[in-house]
């Protein structure tokens, strides 16, 4: 216990670690001030855009048509009706009617937008998907459309659904969107930076470190728990900052709000609703296991190679290596690539089925993540145990 | 001076950090080649497909029967872009590089027209910068006249170089920063030995910067060797006279372009090295120096509006590809940010850095 407290003190007074925490918290603040992570999603058009589109559609319906464009009139009339209902519900602040109209809007676009048979189809997905140079913007937009539909479905049955929940801006929804957006990757980078010099920083005090009456296995475990403790504190601070920015404006939200879980089996697509009350703890659990993996991996690299670079390079390969073997595309992924570890580095993408969508499979489920990450952790623990129990084992050279 | 140079060189070559840096630099090009060849990430087919999707979506914004006179040219342009991407796709599918090249030329012409006439759809279409488009049109027209294929992916050495040119400055800049981050700090580890030698600060400083530049040149050469040799083993060297445009106006064959690009990269590297040495006289921590130098180097990407007025600082010109191709002018919206001005500014500021460094070190015992 005393060794644990000593190591915690060393960790929290290390200038590099303090700098990393400081930069991370400042970056989080800057993100909320300059690039709020919980803007209303692109699938829900603003009143101006909706009015413009509705007026354009009404004008189209009312003018004379030749044979080529006459086939679009019934569909456009129906679409204009849906848009009018959305606008009226917005004006009257009748949120249940707004949700129902939006569900029709999303379903209509899902069926008619990006229609490969019609170059002159007047319906399209939100234009922001096309500007960003994505490889398959239609597919990405269709995915976002379908998942938004699933999220709004349960709200249509409520008498007065909350506006912030509709726009995915409540605290729990922001946590999920931020997690999918990159906060988890940042947390893993911080973990790697913390764990990277746990053992090599003691090379400066070699005689003291070697004389401590602690077995290398005990020392390694105590250091792991130290990093975990420090990072849990950081996580609490970060969540507190997010709460102060989100809750006053948009409220806490309900844990029964749904996201969608995507899986594709052969030709059939399953899009099941998943409550945030289940999704968020799963994400947290997977994140903790990934943090454990990176800490143990860095400790092992320091034990074997006595320097910080190897751990950094290997961790970077794991965390950012997916684009080296994977490209979103038709018939691109070989069945085995669904089980490579770099594909499981974003727990939020696993829990929402985004990885299933990208790999066109149903195999990358949270259970598969537990199995893949768990087996790597098991191997790491085995090698760590062997290395720390050698005859002349010591935590530093 | 010769002895000091030899001493510094041996210190540089025996530093494990520098050796790891050289190894990682070369490894990055090797891994990058295989990754790009397998995933086709930067291939013309992918970017053309993105443009096609965007054009179709933008097209759907307009009501075809009630087009105003000003909207018709925009729709014609979107149509042109869309059909050009179809030609590119056809050329790739049928394996006809001439068709692909002609389709690419039509696409770039249409995109150039969209940029030059400030069409409304400019904010919702993935358009390359203006000078990039001008340069591409020049290149493709010359290739069409000479009946040679355009670079559409990563296969031969020349196509690999042409494809990764815009991203090279990230790697070479990072290498220079990591190389020089402890250049003036290493000495502090053996303070008594250092102070006992009969050297002036000027000799010690100039020998340090010369050996650093030499090692940097060595790393660049090793990287170039990897870039040329590895694809050549699989697909051959390719066209070494491939025309590339400087500032969107002048065409140079690939090997001459590389000389210009390499010179600018070396100059940028020397500036980074001298800047890191200067930082080291204030901040004696290698990690902090790395962080500050990296933050300074990335700042023109974060704040292009600020650097529109600060164009006389050398920092925007660290991106060698943007400087040579003229896209720096588009990024900063500043017509003075040209290649020669950039090279001149880098040279001037290297001298300023060295002067400041000399002034700082005079106070310190050499």
List pLDDT tens digits, range A298-307.
999 999 998 8
Statement: residue A47 has pLDDT above 80: yes
The model's pLDDT over B230-266, given as tens digits with 9 standing for 90+, comes to 999 999 998 899 999 999 899 999 999 999 999 999 9
Q: Tell me whether residues B50 and A135 touch, CB distance under 8 A.
A: yes
Q: Tell me whether residues A131 and B16 touch, CB distance under 8 A.
A: no
Statement: residue A132 has pLDDT above 50: yes
Statement: residue B175 has pLDDT above 90: yes
Q: How many residues belong to chain B?
A: 366
B166 and B128 in a common domain: no
Statement: residue A96 has pLDDT above 70: yes
Q: Tell me whether residues B31 and A60 touch, CB distance under 8 A.
A: no
> CA of B34: which chain A residue's CA is closest?
A324
B113 and B131 in a common domain: yes
Return the DSSP state at B364. Answer: S
Q: Tell me whether residues A131 and B125 touch, CB distance under 8 A.
A: yes
What tokens does B352 get? 């300023």
Closest C-alpha among A254, A226, A252 to residue A239: A252
Which pLDDT does position B312 carry in this prediction?
92
Nearest to B35 among A132, A307, A323 (CB): A323
Q: How far apart are alpha carbons B108 and B47 in whole angstroms?
A: 12
CA distance to partner chain A, nearest, from residue B49 (Å) = 7
pLDDT tier for residue B65 given thresholds of 50, 70 and 90: low
Q: How far apart are alpha carbons B261 and B252 in whole angstroms?
A: 11
A317 and A177 in a common domain: yes
More confident residue, B46 or A243: A243
Q: How far apart are alpha carbons B49 and B47 in whole angstroms?
A: 5
Q: Which residues of B touch A310 (CB under 8 A)?
A: none
A267 and A382 in a common domain: yes
A194 and A135 in a common domain: no
Nearest to B65 among A63, A113, A327 (CB): A63
User: How many Cβ atoms from other residues are within 10 Å of residue B170's Cβ?
Assistant: 14
Which pLDDT does position A17 carry in this prediction?
92
In contact, B219 and B210? CB cutoff 8 Å: no
Which pLDDT does position B315 carry in this prediction?
94
Domain endpoint, select from B146, B177, B208: B146
Q: How far apart are alpha carbons A15 and A102 in whole angstroms?
A: 52
How confident is the model over A67-72, as a mean pLDDT?
A: 74
Statement: residue B187 has pLDDT above 60: yes
B353 and B313 in a common domain: yes
Q: Tell me whether residues B65 and A123 touch, CB distance under 8 A.
A: no
A199 and A113 in a common domain: no
Please report, rounded to a whole number, the percentage of residues in chain B having pLDDT higher than 70: 97
Statement: residue A214 has pLDDT above 80: yes
A95 and A60 in a common domain: yes
Q: Which residues of B touch A129 (CB under 8 A)?
A: 57
B103 and B233 in a common domain: no
Q: Which long-range contacts (CB under 8 A, 24 or more apart) does A189-192 make?
A: A189/A319, A190/A20, A190/A21, A190/A24, A190/A231, A190/A234, A191/A227, A191/A231, A191/A291, A191/A294, A191/A295, A192/A294, A192/A298, A192/A311, A192/A312, A192/A315, A192/A316, A192/A319
| Ramachandran region, residue A183 (left: φ > 0; alpha: ψ -120 to 50; beta: rest) | alpha
Burial class (CB in 10 A: 0-12, 13-18, 19+), A284: middle
Domain endpoint, select from A165, A184, A213: A165
pLDDT tier for residue A117 given thresholds of 50, 70 and 90: low
What tokens does A199 get? 């053992």
A291 and A149 in a common domain: no
In contact, B325 and B132? CB cutoff 8 Å: yes
A54 and A10 in a common domain: no
Nearest to B53 among A65, A137, A325 (CB): A137
Q: How far apart are alpha carbons A40 and A169 in whole angstroms?
A: 7
More confident residue, A36 or B188: A36
The model's pLDDT over A224-247, given as tens digits with 9 standing for 90+, comes to 999 999 999 999 999 999 999 999
Q: How far apart are alpha carbons B166 and A387 in whole angstroms?
A: 45
Q: How many residues belong to chain A?
A: 397
B182 and B52 in a common domain: no
Highest mean pLDDT among B49-53, B81-85, B196-200: B81-85
Q: How far apart are alpha carbons A143 and B206 in whole angstroms?
A: 59
How confident is the model over B7-32, as a mean pLDDT?
A: 91
| Ramachandran region, residue A182 (left: φ > 0; alpha: ψ -120 to 50; beta: rest) | left
> CA of B39: which chain A residue's CA is closest?
A327
B54 and B126 in a common domain: yes
Q: How far apart are alpha carbons A255 and B24 in whole angstroms?
A: 46
B255 and B232 in a common domain: yes
User: How many Cβ atoms from other residues are within 10 Å of residue A364's Cβ?
Assistant: 23
Helix (H, G, I), strand (E, B) or coil at B250: strand
Determine the structural domain holding residue B81 and report its residue range. Answer: 41-146
Q: Which long-range contacts (CB under 8 A, 24 or more apart) does A97-104 make?
A: A98/A166, A99/A152, A99/A155, A99/A156, A99/A161, A99/A166, A100/A156, A102/A44, A102/A152, A102/A166, A103/A149, A103/A152, A103/A153, A103/A156
Domain endpoint, select from A146, A165, A184: A165
Q: How far apart are alpha carbons A81 and A194 in whole angstroms?
A: 57
Distances (CA, A) of A371 to A176, A262, A289, A365, B48: 23, 19, 11, 10, 39
CA distance to partner chain B, nearest, from residue A160 (Å) = 33
Q: How far apart are alpha carbons A362 and A269 in whole angstroms?
A: 9
Q: How far apart are alpha carbons B314 and B320 in whole angstroms?
A: 11
Q: What is the pTM of this model?
A: 0.84
> CA of A129: which chain B residue's CA is closest?
B54
Q: Tell me whether residues B60 and A324 touch, CB distance under 8 A.
A: no
B129 and B68 in a common domain: yes
Which pLDDT does position A181 carry in this prediction?
87
Which pLDDT does position B366 carry in this prediction?
47
Size of interface A-B (CB pairs under 8 A): 85
Q: Which helix (H) or strand (E) holds B246?
A: strand B243-246
Domain endpoint, select from A165, A190, A223: A165
- β-bridge mates for residue B250, sequence order: B246
Helix (H, G, I), strand (E, B) or coil at B49: helix
Number of domains making up chain B: 2
A355 and A334 in a common domain: yes
Domain endpoint, select from B88, B117, B146: B146
Which pLDDT does position A64 carry in this prediction?
76
> CA of B35: which chain A residue's CA is closest?
A324
A293 and A221 in a common domain: yes
Q: How far apart are alpha carbons B39 and B51 in whole angstroms?
A: 19
Q: How far apart are alpha carbons A10 and A12 in whole angstroms?
A: 6
User: How many Cβ atoms from other residues are within 10 Å of residue A48's Cβ?
Assistant: 8
More confident residue, A55 or B140: B140
Nearest to A125 among B57, B59, B63 (CB): B57
CA distance to partner chain B, nearest, from residue A83 (Å) = 15
Q: Which residues of A touch B42 (CB under 8 A)?
A: none
Q: Tell me whether residues B47 and A133 touch, CB distance under 8 A.
A: yes
Return the DSSP state at B154. Answer: S
Nearest to B124 among A59, A130, A325 (CB): A130
B93 in contact with chain A, both atoms CB, cutoff 8 A: no
User: Strands A258-265 and A268-275: what pairing?
Assistant: antiparallel
B117 and B49 in a common domain: yes
Statement: residue A180 has pLDDT above 60: yes
A224 and A158 in a common domain: no
Q: Which residues of A touch B291 (CB under 8 A)?
A: 19
Nearest to B41 among A69, A123, A327 (CB): A327
SS (H, E, C) B301-340: HHCHHHHHHCCCCCHHHHCHHHHHHCHHHHHHCCCCCCHH
Interface of B with A in 110-129 (CB under 8 A): 123-126
A64 and A107 in a common domain: yes
Q: How far apart are alpha carbons B275 and B279 in whole angstroms?
A: 6
**DSSP notation for B185-202:** TGGGGGHHHHHHS---HH
Statement: residue B331 has pLDDT above 80: yes
Which pLDDT does position B217 carry in this prediction?
95
pLDDT tier for residue B126 given thresholds of 50, 70 and 90: confident
What tokens does B204 get? 């010690």
Q: Tell me whether residues B40 and A327 touch, CB distance under 8 A.
A: yes
B257 and B166 in a common domain: yes
Domain endpoint, select from B125, B146, B167: B146
B237 and B127 in a common domain: no
**Average pLDDT score, chain A:** 89
The model's pLDDT over A314-370, given as tens digits with 9 standing for 90+, comes to 999 999 988 888 877 655 667 778 889 999 999 999 999 999 988 888 889 999 999
CA distance to partner chain A, nearest, from residue B192 (Å) = 20
Distances (CA, A) of A257 to A146, A243, A272, B78: 16, 18, 13, 41
In contact, A246 and A176? CB cutoff 8 Å: no
> CA of A52: which chain B residue's CA is closest?
B61
Number of domains making up chain A: 2
More confident residue, A351 or B57: A351
Q: Which residues of B touch A63 (CB under 8 A)?
A: 65-66
Q: How far apart are alpha carbons A133 and A136 in whole angstroms?
A: 9
Helix (H, G, I), strand (E, B) or coil at A271: strand
Q: Tell me whether residues B60 and A122 touch, CB distance under 8 A.
A: yes
B161 and B141 in a common domain: no
The model's pLDDT over B267-323, given as tens digits with 9 standing for 90+, comes to 999 999 999 999 998 888 888 899 999 999 999 998 899 999 999 999 999 999 999
A328 and A208 in a common domain: yes
Determine the structural domain holding residue A65 and report its residue range. Answer: 47-165
Q: Tell me whether residues B126 and A123 touch, CB distance under 8 A.
A: no
Q: Tell me whether residues A324 and B35 touch, CB distance under 8 A.
A: yes
Closest C-alpha among A381, A358, A174, A209 to residue A293: A381
How confident is the model over B77-89, as a mean pLDDT?
A: 91
A268 in contact with chain B, both atoms CB, cutoff 8 A: no
């Amino acid at each position: 216990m005393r060794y644990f407290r000593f190591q915690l003190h060393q960790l929290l007074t290390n200038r590099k670690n303090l700098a990393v925490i400081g930069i991370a918290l400042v970056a989080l603040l800057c993100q909320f001030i300059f690039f709020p992570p919980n803007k209303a999603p692109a699938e829900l058009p603003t009143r101006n855009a909706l009015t413009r589109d509705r007026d354009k559609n009404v004008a189209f319906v009312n003018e004379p048509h030749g044979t080529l464009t006459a086939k679009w009139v019934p569909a456009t009339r129906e679409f204009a009706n849906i848009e009018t209902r959305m606008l009226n519900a917005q004006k009257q602040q009748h949120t249940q009617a707004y949700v129902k109209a939006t569900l029709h809007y999303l379903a209509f676009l899902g069926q008619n937008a990006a229609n490969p048979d019609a170059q002159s189809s007047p319906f399209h997905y939100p234009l922001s998907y096309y500007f960003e140079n994505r490889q398959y913007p239609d597919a990405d937009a269709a995915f976002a459309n379908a998942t938004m539909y699933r999220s709004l479905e349960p709200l249509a049955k409520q008498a007065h659904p909350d506006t912030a929940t509709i726009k995915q801006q409540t605290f729990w929804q922001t946590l999920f969107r931020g997690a999918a957006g990159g906060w988890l990757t940042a947390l893993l980078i911080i973990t790697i930076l913390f764990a990277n010099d746990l053992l090599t920083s003691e090379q400066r005090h070699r005689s003291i470190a070697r004389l401590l009456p602690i077995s290398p296995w005990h020392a390694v475990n105590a250091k792991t728990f130290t990093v975990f403790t420090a990072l849990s504190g950081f996580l609490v601070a970060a969540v507190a900052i997010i709460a102060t920015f989100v809750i006053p404006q948009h409220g806490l939200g309900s844990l029964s709000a749904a996201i969608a879980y995507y899986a594709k089996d052969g030709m059939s697509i399953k899009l099941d609703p998943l409550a945030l009350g289940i999704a968020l703890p799963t994400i947290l659990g997977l994140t903790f296991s990934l943090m454990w993996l990176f800490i143990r991996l860095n400790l092992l690299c320091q034990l074997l190679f006595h320097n910080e670079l190897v751990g950094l390079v290997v961790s970077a390969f794991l965390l950012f290596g997916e684009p080296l073997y994977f490209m979103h595309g038709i018939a691109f992924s070989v069945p085995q690539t669904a089980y490579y570890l770099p594909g499981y580095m974003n727990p939020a993408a696993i829990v929402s089925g985004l990885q299933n969508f990208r790999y066109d499979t149903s195999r990358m489920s949270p259970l598969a993540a537990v199995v893949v990450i768990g087996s790597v952790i098991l191997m790491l623990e085995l090698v760590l145990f062997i290395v720390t129990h050698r005859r002349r084992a010591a935590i530093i050279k | 001076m010769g002895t000091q140079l030899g001493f510094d060189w041996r210190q540089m070559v025996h530093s494990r950090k520098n050796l790891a840096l050289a190894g990682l630099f070369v490894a990055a090009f090797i891994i990058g080649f295989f990754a790009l060849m397998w995933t086709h990430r930067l291939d013309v087919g992918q970017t053309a497909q993105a443009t096609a999707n965007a054009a179709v979506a933008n097209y759907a914004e307009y009501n075809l029967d009630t087009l105003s006179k000003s909207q018709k040219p925009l729709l014609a342009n979107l149509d042109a872009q869309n059909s050009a991407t179809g030609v590119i796709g056809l050329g790739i599918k049928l394996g006809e590089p001439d068709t692909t090249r002609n389709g690419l030329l039509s696409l770039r012409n249409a995109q150039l027209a969209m940029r030059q006439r400030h069409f409304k759809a400019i904010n919702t279409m993935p358009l390359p910068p203006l000078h990039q488009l001008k340069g591409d049109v020049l290149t493709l027209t010359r290739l069409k006249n000479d009946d040679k294929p355009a670079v559409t992916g990563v296969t031969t050495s020349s196509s690999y170089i042409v494809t990764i040119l815009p991203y090279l400055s990230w790697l070479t800049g990072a290498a220079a920063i990591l190389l020089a981050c402890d250049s003036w700090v290493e000495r502090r580890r053996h303070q008594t030995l250092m102070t006992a030698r009969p050297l002036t600060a000027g000799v010690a400083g100039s020998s340090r910067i010369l050996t650093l530049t030499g090692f940097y040149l060595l790393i660049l050469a090793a990287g170039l060797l990897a870039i040329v040799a590895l694809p050549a083993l699989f697909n051959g060297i390719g066209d070494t006279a491939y025309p590339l445009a400087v500032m969107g106006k002048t065409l140079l064959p690939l090997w001459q372009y590389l000389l210009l690009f390499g010179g600018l990269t070396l100059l940028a590297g020397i500036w980074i090295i001298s800047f890191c040495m200067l930082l080291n006289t204030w901040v004696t921590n290698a990690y902090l120096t790395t962080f500050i130098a990296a933050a300074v180097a990335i700042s023109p990407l974060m704040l292009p509006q600020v650097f529109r007025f600060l164009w006389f600082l050398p920092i925007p010109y660290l991106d060698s590809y943007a400087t040579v191709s003229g896209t720096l002018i588009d990024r900063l919206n500043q017509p003075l940010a040209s290649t020669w001005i950039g090279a001149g500014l880098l040279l001037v500021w290297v001298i300023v850095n060295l002067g400041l460094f000399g002034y700082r070190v005079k106070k310190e015992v050499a």
